[in-house]
Amino acid sequence: MRDMPIGQIHAGRNANTDGPSGCASPTSRLCEAAPQDRRLTQAPRKQLPSPLAPRSWLAWVALALAAPAAPPAPAAQDASLAWRVETDTGRLVAHRADGTFEWCGDRLAEVTCWDAGGKERSLALTPGEGWRIERRAADRGLRLMCRQEEMGLTIALDFAAEGDVLTARAPASDIEETGAARLKTLRLLPRLGAATEGDDGYLVIAQQSGALCHFRDKKPGEHWVSVYQSLCQCPMPLFGIVRGASALAGIITSGQFDARFCVSTARGPKRQYAIDPAFTLRSFRDERRLPDDIEVEYHFLPAAEAGWSGVAKRYRRHNFAHRGIRSLRERASASPALAYAAAALEVRIRLGVKPVPHEVKEQTPETEPTMRVFCDFRRVRDIIDEFHRQGIARAEFCLVGWNRGGHDGRYPQVFPVEPALGGEGELRATIQHGQSLGYQMVAHDCYYGAYRISEDWSEDYLRKERDGSPQKGGVWGGGQSYNMCLARALDLFAKRDMPQIRALGFAGLHYSDVLSIIGPRPCHDPKHPQTRHQDAEAATRILALAQKTFGGAQSEGSLDFAAPALDRLLYVDCDKWLPLTNRPYVDARVPLYETVYHGVMLYTLSTESVNSRPGEDAYLRGIEYGAVPLTYFYGHFLLDAAKNWLGKNDYRYDDPGQLKEVATGLRRVHDDVGRLGHLQMEFLEGHRQIEDGVFETAYANGQRVVVNYREEPFALPAGGTVPPRNYLLLESPR
């Protein structure tokens, strides 16, 4: 890990800047209707169906007769939307035709811009703030041309409905800035569906695994959480609001690389709670405006799906339908390496690293410090042999630091294979030895950071800050790292080196560091400028090349722009740096990310899970969340032992007896992988707390895993006992 993930929560903008009143009173479930509503309704507004309205009642009766044991299936529901926008106020109101709950927003957008004098201004996109909103008909919806004469700004907003999805779009090409003002941010449908203190329901925040914020007992505030940017933020461009038996799933389908979510808590006199996306059109006044369209889909879920799990499943469906995501099962059927890895214990071995920290930050051949050798290639064979002796039959060994200079030693240079570890001959022999015993042998590399000591060093391919200076990363084995422009790194180094790394014999889930844990970031080098979107695409292309070359790809984090080309990731949660449950807007952590991606990618939960042992909290939580274990030899490498982050426990040994003891412990972990590994091919369909300290996770094949954190056995109401601090795999529901 080059750059430790640092939280970027910006809490506490003025909490009392309450705008015009928002939506429904908690009891009415209906927006405060304006008298001119009907004239402004986009489509003839449907009568709100009462539970006994003839049409719905008859439909229900017909279904009840056809299938008396089951409620009406979702497919039989009327999933169409009734919605309208009021051009004289900017209010938007929408509801499902088969529901009564109205979702309302009091304004179309908020923008910030720099005025002629460079001063930052904030404007609500409402007629009251000088906007003229002109309505035009459009396919499946309407277009609103929004003009602010004083500032010389024009923004087109397109709204279109299909099924239960309302899509709002601000095309980049239809934004005009005819005066001196320059747009900075656009916040779309702020506080749509806002709840008030004490309402039933919660916000769904896609931060780390996923968080819920109930509508009660929060301090007033606006909390900004980035989409992507770091592991500690939101790995998915997804948000949700659950209001009683109604729910909204919001998916950012364009502009997500430059987006943040605003989580409002107890805001204003009405103590409102809301979550909505804002987009950065420029980071500084002279920057070229974001070329991406802004597009958000608002999915109004039927009552049967009105929960965080329904929000996750809607996004999962979107991924499969629109992002080219395929299930692990489908991909594994075409990749024996992936099929193997999915049911194997992942074992990372850090072979060697130069001292971190070290007083020489810009290393030269003369000042380069000597590498600390933890485990040379011959010793790796000892580990493999001990695993084999103890019946650890399926493992994928990932060698970290096999390259010149050891871990982070001289990237982007990787060759020659590090002589101090035994050189290329010994490495090839080790790979072959592991494979001869049935293990998968894979390599760690990195196309993110570059070091001056590298024989490939040049400033040409580095990512540049807006002032043209190279962007610095962390200080690691090679000294000061500089971030590479990923599009350049792909063309110059990944394409050059991956085939050569493959030729050493490595095959399996090739590990490429950092790519999915931080970023995306722009590059301001005029020779190879990159938007965040383009940076994310370059990262994904590097991983896709690894998949093609080695049979699979893994990287460090959960940021889901990489999901179309990622098979395994190391961390979802950020417990070490920004524990979710400590955030002021978080009431509970839920497996939201896991519901989207279990059955799609293999993941470990957090750095706390590394080397955790059966019975420990982190180990049990991994099982509860459908994660796979991660084993690390010599994970701790910082000279200041207290600063190491990879698990509480590190595996290292000085003699055969100690290695034997380590392998004996890992046999138990391996056996759990054997018992639960088949579930990696299944989607996670449900998760609930049975009682304090007892949780059940349900999978698409009907099996369930009950995890018991208690110190005593837990007897399940339907029979069966979960041992203390352990789990039980149950067949389909009894």
Minimum CB separation of residue 359 from Zn ion in Å reads 31
**Minimum CB distance to Zn ion smaller for 35 or for 284:** 284
x/- string (CB under 5 A) for Zn ion, residues 33-62? Answer: ------------------------------
**Minimum CB distance to Zn ion smaller for 209 or for 530:** 530
Q: Which of residues 495-524 bind Zn ion (CB under 5 A)?
A: 523
State how far the Cα of 492 lies from the Cα of 490, in Å rounded to an integer.
Answer: 6
Q: Which of residues 133-152 bind Zn ion (CB under 5 A)?
A: none
Binding residue for Zn ion, selected from 525, 560, 573, 594, defined by CB under 5 A: 525
Minimum CB separation of residue 463 from Zn ion in Å reads 6
Q: What is the dihedral angle through the alpha carbons of 299, 303, 306, 310, rounded to the nearest 10 degrees? A: -70
**Minimum CB distance to Zn ion smaller for 403 or for 530:** 530
How many residues make contact with Zn ion (CB under 5 A)? Answer: 5
**Minimum CB distance to Zn ion smaller for 207 or for 454:** 454
**Minimum CB distance to Zn ion smaller for 292 or for 525:** 525
Minimum CB separation of residue 478 from Zn ion in Å reads 21
Write the CB contacts of 53 (distance below 8 Å, at least 6 apart in sequence).
Answer: 47
Q: Which of residues 645-674 bind Zn ion (CB under 5 A)?
A: none
> Concatenated DSSP letters for 576-596?
TTS-GGGSTT-SEE--HHHHH
Radius of gyration of the CA atoms of the chain, in A: 27
State how far the Cα of 86 lies from the Cα of 225, in Å rounded to an integer.
Answer: 30
Minimum CB separation of residue 464 from Zn ion in Å reads 7
Minimum CB separation of residue 529 from Zn ion in Å reads 6
Q: Which stretch binds Zn ion (CB under 5 A): 269-277, 280-288, 482-490, 686-694?
A: 482-490
What crossing angle do the helices spanning 495-503 and 532-550 adopt, rounded to 10°?
Answer: 20
State how far the Cα of 539 lies from the Cα of 519, in Å rounded to an integer.
Answer: 10
Report the residue count for the chain: 734
Other Cβ atoms closer than 10 A to 41: 16
Minimum CB separation of residue 321 from Zn ion in Å reads 32
Instruction: Find residue 312's DSSP bridge partners.
Output: none
Binding residue for Zn ion, selected from 329, 452, 528, 660, defined by CB under 5 A: 528
> Concatenated DSSP letters for 290-323?
P-S-EEEEEEEE-GGG-SHHHHHHHHHHHHHHHS
Binding residue for Zn ion, selected from 167, 530, 534, 595, defined by CB under 5 A: 530
Query: Tokens 């957008």 label which residue?
Result: 109
Minimum CB separation of residue 163 from Zn ion in Å reads 40
Per-residue HEC secondary structure of 524-546 comes to: CCCCCCECHHHHHHHHHHHHHHH
- Can you read off the two tokens belonging to residue 506? 């490595």
Instruction: Find residue 687's DSSP bridge partners.
Output: 697
Is residue 485 at the binding interface for Zn ion, with CB under 5 A as the rule? Answer: yes
Minimum CB separation of residue 2 from Zn ion in Å reads 18
Q: Which stretch binds Zn ion (CB under 5 A): 485-493, 623-631, 634-642, 690-698?
A: 485-493
Other Cβ atoms closer than 10 A to 366: 6
**Minimum CB distance to Zn ion smaller for 318 or for 463:** 463
**Minimum CB distance to Zn ion smaller for 400 or for 523:** 523
Minimum CB separation of residue 456 from Zn ion in Å reads 16
Q: What angle do CA 236, 154, 254 make, to 5 degrees?
A: 15
Q: Which stretch binds Zn ion (CB under 5 A): 273-281, 412-420, 478-486, 618-626?
A: 478-486
- Can you read off the two tokens belonging to residue 491? 């063309």
Q: Which residues bind Zn ion (CB under 5 A)?
A: 485, 523, 525, 528, 530
